[in-house]
Structure 1
């Protein structure tokens, strides 16, 4: 009898613990976040901090629909296969409510397909490939950052205004770089029919042979250069180009280079006069950005990078979507995100119903080496809505649901 009572008591305790765990789970909204933290720390360490700030703000305000928000973060090793594996783990074992993240475009595409196959909500915060919302778009995937097409479309008028005929192209040889160059060629041909592309240097991601690339570009004798390299590849390219005089007397139009993640490491090698997209955090005086910067500095004792804005806005977007849906049910979230308006450090954005792309814009300006530190000058913010195809056209670019 004593043994039996012990067994009954043990069973009751186990049941109570299980119920307590379930009750706790019901009080938490889990966001499963997947990213290339080890491979791309310059962008993703600030990104993670931006997410943490947004989660703190949401939880301090009472959470979402009465529930606290919790981040469950995994590294994808910059590998599509690993990304899908950890996504499966997050959904099946960790029981996350939504998925978010990814940085590299080919990894983002793998997660986009995973979301479609599993019928699970996914917000792609950073990967820029247009295929995420167009060619490979699906009802389960939305994207925050302005796409490759949008950012190139912001730069193309500036490039065409230079009236340079012979252009050289240099880019990382994977989805993001390939699509950026394809869009640049298309838009430049439309704006300047006599334009020539005299050489293309497609380099392995993270493994640029800067000396050979710079020599090949110089040998082609271009009037101007369109660059899509970023991170460590950009640093090597700039260093070698400065040493060999590649940029002297040549205009350079460069995607992402004005982001502090990539500008700051250049230090006194930062180029002068390049036309770039970027993030001049030090000069943005809007109320939304001042509030964000102040909160970020208070928490981390550091200035924000573009990754900080993207991470923060990713979580804020999920928060607004979940609040509007009143649920983390996938279909309710999809309905909530279509046409969803979100306040971000760059001002209000909207997720378009037709292609699931947000209207977040970006800053375009020129680089300046200011006493050994690279900054952006003569910059302006361009509304992303102006650089997207009309809604009806965008809808045609997507597979039928």
Structure 2
């Protein structure tokens, strides 16, 4: 077991103890949190740390509606069936007041359907599939993090400024990758009508043959590359592409790559000069982020990752929604979250009434390698409200839900 996985396991065990040990306590509001802790420790150890920091702050200030927040954590093993079983246990046996969590999109879709069937409020914190709030959206499900369409749209302005005509596309062959590429193509054709997409490589998630992909892209002689690979696939692609000179003299636009979760494993093999979405935590000069950063570092003696922000902001949103609703009743929560404003380390955000999607935004910048590790030293913050399709398009997408 790797150190990250050992840490993830110990924090998971601690989290379970935190939840179940207090399960019989009186005067609490219980949140059922489901996520892929053992499958994604690099993402979800920071996520839970952010979550517990926010919960601690809220409880220290008197809680919500005169009650302490309590979280019961469960692991979904990255599996929709397990997630639904955990949700059923949390509702039937733990008597949670609402559900939250999820990182994998297919798990998020399963829990959104569960929330609809069981008529319980569900705040999806991190799944990127837009089906969760659009085609498969329902009145019981809200989402905090910006989705695939917004991520792709956020980099279009910088990509178009490059003036590159011939683009190659690299993406994992499942919904997230396919949707990201479709959104990028759609928006780039509007911004740059003469664009050409000269090559596409779509390996299965987690099974990239980085050498073959790099060679196929090089053979197409693109001017620029749009990359959607992440995690271990990104690590392999970045290293193999660097070895083969794939990125030399070519611009690369890459989703998620500026997040410390994905830059850290690359160390000095991290790409330099890529246009990315990410988290420039050392250079966000707002009071909200300064306070968050200081509190996080004091509590954990570590720097936050983007998922730390997601976990923290999710709890803050839940607290704001409960306060506005004045109760834990599902119907009152649904009403309260429509247009709800809440605080995050990135500033104020809200849940759009038309699709239950948060306006939490995205940072876009370029990567660098400093002191032997990849960093995103700076970035421009784009409000999530500016990255969505028109209200008419969203209404049509949700019409069947």
Give TM-score scaled by structure 2 length: 0.92
The structural deviation recorded for 1:92 is 1.3
The structural deviation recorded for 1:88 is 1.3
Match of 2:217 in 1: 217
| Aligned mates of 1:116, 1:26 — CA distance in 2 | 28
User: Aligned with 1:70: secondary structure?
Assistant: strand
Task: Choose 86-95 or 372-381, whichever is displaced more.
Answer: 372-381
Q: Does 1:82 align with 2:78?
A: no
Q: 1:219 to 1:292 in 2, by over 3 A?
A: same
Q: Does 1:174 align with 2:174?
A: yes
| Aligned mates of 2:22, 2:377 — CA distance in 1 | 54
- Once the two structures are superposed, residues 379-401 of structure 1 have per-residue CA deviations (whole angstroms, 9 ceiling, x without a partner) of 21111111123445423321356
2:22 touches 2:70 (CA, 8 Å); kept in 1? no
Match of 2:109 in 1: 109
The structural deviation recorded for 1:23 is 11
Q: Does 1:63 align with 2:58?
A: no
1:253 touches 1:275 (CA, 8 Å); kept in 2? yes
Q: Does 1:397 align with 2:394?
A: no
The structural deviation recorded for 1:41 is 1.3
Q: Does 1:320 align with 2:317?
A: no
Q: Does 1:340 align with 2:346?
A: no
The structural deviation recorded for 1:377 is 4.0
| Aligned mates of 1:323, 1:146 — CA distance in 2 | 24
Q: Does 1:289 align with 2:289?
A: yes
2:121 touches 2:140 (CA, 8 Å); kept in 1? yes
| Aligned mates of 1:102, 1:22 — CA distance in 2 | 23
Match of 2:200 in 1: 200
Where does 1:89-104 land on structure 2 (aligned, <5 Å)?
A: 89-104=89-104
Match of 1:36 in 2: 36
- Once the two structures are superposed, residues 281-328 of structure 1 have per-residue CA deviations (whole angstroms, 9 ceiling, x without a partner) of 011110000000111111111111101000000011001101111111
Match of 1:15 in 2: none
The structural deviation recorded for 1:22 is 12
Match of 1:372 in 2: 372
| Aligned mates of 1:37, 1:225 — CA distance in 2 | 32
| Aligned mates of 1:327, 1:219 — CA distance in 2 | 60
| Aligned mates of 1:189, 1:23 — CA distance in 2 | 53
Give TM-score scaled by structure 1 length: 0.92
Match of 2:270 in 1: 270
Match of 1:6 in 2: none
1:138 touches 1:399 (CA, 8 Å); kept in 2? no
2:32 touches 2:98 (CA, 8 Å); kept in 1? yes
1:106 touches 1:174 (CA, 8 Å); kept in 2? no
| Aligned mates of 2:76, 2:197 — CA distance in 1 | 36
| Aligned mates of 1:324, 1:182 — CA distance in 2 | 38
1:263 touches 1:374 (CA, 8 Å); kept in 2? yes
Match of 1:130 in 2: 130
Of the two, which has the highest radius of gyration? 1
Q: 1:294 to 1:248 in 2, by over 3 A?
A: same
The structural deviation recorded for 1:116 is 1.1
Paired residues, number = 381
Task: Choose 368-377 or 313-322, whichever is displaced more.
Answer: 368-377
The structural deviation recorded for 1:131 is 0.9
The structural deviation recorded for 1:77 is 1.1
User: Aligned with 1:74: secondary structure?
Assistant: strand
| Aligned mates of 2:71, 2:23 — CA distance in 1 | 18
| Aligned mates of 2:201, 2:33 — CA distance in 1 | 34
Where do 5+ consecutive residues of structure 1 fail to align?
Answer: 1-20
